Each structure stands twice: as C-alpha cells, then as structure tokens.
Amino acid sequence: MTESRTPEDDQLPQVNLETQMSESARTPQDEEEIVERSRTATVIREIMSGSAVMSVLAVVFALIIGGILIAATDARVQETAGYFFSRPGDMLSAIWNSVSGAYIALFQGSVYNFRRPGFANGIKPLLDTLTFATPLIVAGLGVALGFRAGLFNIGGRGQMLFGAAAAGWVAFSFDLPVGIHLILAIVAGIAAGAIWGGVAGYLKARTGAHEVITTIMLNYVAYFFVYWMLSTPGLLQAPGSNNPKTPAMKETAILPLIFGPSYSLHWGFIIAIAATIFVWWLLNRSSLGFQFKAVGFNPKAARVAGMNVNRMFTYVMLFSGGLVGLAGVFQVLGTVTTGFSAGIDAGIGFDAITVALLGRSRPWGVFAAGILFGAFKAGGFTMQATQQIPIDIVLVVQSIIVLLIAAPPLVRAIFRLPAPNLLEPAGSAKLQGKKAVVSK
C-alpha cells in the first residue's frame, strides 16, 4: 500500500537511519543536557536581542563615533597626519592622547576627579551629575508616560516654563512658614505644567488635533507669554528692574541641599526617585496605568473593551505635563534660586525626549538614562575646559544615541545581533512532534 503524503510532510527534514539510531541510543542524561543547552541558547538570544543590550550598544557606538570626531578635530592629530606615512606612530600617539584625554576628562567631570585632594572633593562631580540629572529624570518620565499611551509629548519646554513660572511666583511672592511654602510652590508648579499639558490632551480628545502639532505650538505660546510676564512690572519681573527676570526665591521655598552647602545636590533628587517609583506603580500596579498602556497598544481595541479613550488621552497629558512641570520646579527652586529668565528650561524639555527613548519608556530605564545624560552635561564642561574639546561633540554623541535607538535594525546590523522572537516555541514543538511521528 502506498503511503499518502501531505504538503507539510514534504517540508519535514529527511530522517535517515543513522539519526534514528542516534536518537534511540540517547540516555535520559543526554536528553537533559540537550534541553539545558537549548534553554541556555534561548536565554542568551533573548538577552542579546533585548532592549537593554540595544541601549548599551547604542551608547558604546555613539562614544566610538564621538572619539573619531574628537581625533579628527584635534590640532595635533591634523598636524601629524601630514607626515603619517613617514612616522605613523606620531599620529597614532596623537589620536590616543586626544581621545583618552577627552574621555578621562569626561569621567573626572562627571563621576570622580582623582586630581582633587580627598574623597569629599573628588566625589563632587558625581553629585553635580545627579544635580543635572534630576530635572531630566522627571521630564523624561513625563515624556515616557505619553509614549506608553501612544502620545508624543514635544511640549516639554512650554510645560517646564509654566511650571517654573507658577512655582517661582509662589516662591518669591508670599511669606509662609518653612515647609508649607515649599510644598505650595511645588504643587503650584506641578499643577501649572499639568494644565498646560492637559490642553493638548483635551484638544486631542475633543477635536482629534495631533499632539505633536499642538504641543509644538503651545511651546511658542508659553515662551512668549512667560516672557511677557517677565517683562511686565507687577507680574514676574523683579521690582525696580528693567530686565526680564524674576526676583530671588525666598529661603523658605528653596529645596534644601542634601549634603550641605559644599555640594550642589538638593532634595529634588529624592523627589525624582519618588516620582520614578510612582510612575512605575502607576503603569504596572494600577488600573489607570493598565488603561494607559491598553490605549497605547491599540486604541480601537481599548474602545471596544469599554475604555474611554478620549478621557485617557486627557489624563495621560495631565500626568505627563505635571511631571515635566516638576522639572521646571527643580530649576527655579533648586538650581537657579537667584531669579530666572525665559531660558530657564535650558533645553531640558527636548532632552527629555532623548532620555525617554534611551530608557525605552520604562521608569527605571528613564532614571538610568537621565543619570547618563546628566553625566554628559557635567563632564562636557570639564572636557571643554581642560581639553579644549568643543561641547558640541557631546551633543553629537547624544544625537547618535537617538538615531540608533530609533533604528534598532541598524544596531543589530552593526553588532551582528540576533533579531528578536526568532525562536517560536509553538512551531518548534510542532516540528518535534512530526519528527517523533516519522521516527516511529
């Protein structure tokens, strides 16, 4: 009788007598070893194709490109390039000195300076890094929260300006007891940022206006409105001054320093840690966070499941704007307490987008990315001062990181990483079952 074959059977690997005998000769210990090796290979593949490895490799590759640019712009390297073929060692030595000197200066300016006497002086760069990272962390959390709900919040500058204006106005206009004054200023800044972000969310929910367009336009509205208040006596302008700048914040509304006046790190960093924990809880342990993520994955399916998608858009932008507004609060109550101008945002609203992308929109990933970019900011100034390296090199490194994070296939191609989800357990189980049928 002729055995009937199906198209699926034609796709099965050929099973010869030798394979059958080798499979039949396996002991239980051999089978366990094979399974263990398969599990190990699967774990390694999952790790190498994961988002954490992608982010780390993006930073490494960006630093390599930055090193190439540092060497290319160095005067000594350019000089030795003229006689490279006669004395190649001079150029290689110049490249090494240029790149290593720049990155050593970056480390000493952001982590620990071995040239300073004593541990207390040497650790100051790390605390400066955390100070720079504090507003980046909370602003990045706000942008990341919007990402998780499928919204692209580019209005960080406007939300920071309104948060800074509200917190600053409360801080220099009222005489209140210690503690109460600071709390009211922080709450005012968060509320102002949330309201300004909520405007974009409301327009998205009611009219369908794209949040990218509305938040960009609201940035300009916020900047010129705050600038007008800074230039108008009786609003934000310091009394008796013609400059668009506020008076100094009162002592009762300033964030206390954690380690005393010798260091710049203030209690805003502790609040940033608390904000990270809150966003993690909101996204992973609350029903509201579940609805945020559901709307981000598929708004139509979320609507079919009974969720009010339009309301979620408004809520997300309220939370997002409040977190970004908190970054403005840190700027005026912790970093620039002598009065601020319209440039108080210092580009943090846009840097927050990069931080959120590098952190993969996960709270603790954003926290780590904020510290990394704080290190770039703190170490970049030292690198420029000691090695005469343009500060723009740091901006180039940050831009390359964004490019690589936005193009994961490019990172996989450069480092020859496996693509995710290559192994399909269901399909492999089906294939093993067919093999067993053939062997029988």
* Inside any domain, residue 384: yes
What string of pLDDT tens digits covers the 440 residues of the chain? 445 555 545 544 444 444 444 555 667 766 667 766 777 766 666 666 566 777 788 888 888 888 888 888 888 888 998 888 888 888 999 999 999 888 898 899 889 988 888 888 889 999 999 999 999 999 999 999 999 999 999 999 999 999 999 999 999 998 899 889 999 999 999 999 999 999 999 999 999 899 999 999 999 999 999 999 999 888 899 888 888 999 999 999 999 999 988 888 999 999 999 999 999 999 999 999 999 999 988 989 999 988 999 999 999 999 999 999 999 999 999 988 899 988 898 889 889 998 998 888 899 999 999 999 999 888 888 888 888 888 788 888 878 887 887 777 777 787 777 776 544 443 344 434 444 433 44
Q: What is the pLDDT of residue 23?
A: 54
* Inside any domain, residue 97: no
| CA distances (Å), origin 96, targets 76, 93, 103, 104, 382 | 11, 5, 11, 12, 19
Q: What is the pLDDT of residue 48?
A: 62
Alpha-carbon span 384 to 124, nearest angstrom: 18
CATH number at residue 300: 1.10.3470
CB 324 within 8 A of CB 352: yes
CB 147 within 8 A of CB 354: no
Alpha-carbon span 1 to 3, nearest angstrom: 6
Task: List 257's β-bridge partners, or say none.
Answer: 266
Exposed, middle or buried, 319 (CB in 10 Å: 0-12/13-18/19+)?
buried
Q: What is the pLDDT of residue 49?
A: 57
Alpha-carbon span 84 to 11, nearest angstrom: 59
* Maximum Cα–Cα distance across the chain: 107
Provide the number of structural domains found in the chain: 1
Q: What is the pLDDT of residue 234?
A: 84
Q: What is the pLDDT of residue 416?
A: 77
* Inside any domain, residue 68: no
Which string of DSSP letters, residue by residue, matches 276-333?
A: HHHHHHHHHH-HHHHHHHHHHH-HHHHHHTT--HHHHHHHHHHHHHHHHHHHHHHIII
Q: What is the pLDDT of residue 87?
A: 87
Q: What is the pLDDT of residue 428?
A: 40
Task: Provide the residue range defining the domain that includes 168.
Answer: 131-389
Residue of 294, 358, 275 lying closest to 149 (CA atoms): 294
Contacts for 212-220 with beta carbons within 8 Å, 24 or more apart? 212/152, 212/154, 214/155, 215/152, 215/153, 215/154, 215/155, 215/158, 216/154, 216/155, 218/155, 218/158, 219/154, 219/155, 219/157, 219/158, 219/349, 220/158
* Inside any domain, residue 361: yes
The stretches of 331-391 forming alpha helices (DSSP H) are 348-358, 363-387
* Inside any domain, residue 273: yes
Phi, psi at 257, each rounded to 5°: -80, 140
Q: What is the pLDDT of residue 294?
A: 92
* Inside any domain, residue 403: no
Q: What is the pLDDT of residue 17?
A: 46
* Inside any domain, residue 422: no
* Inside any domain, residue 301: yes
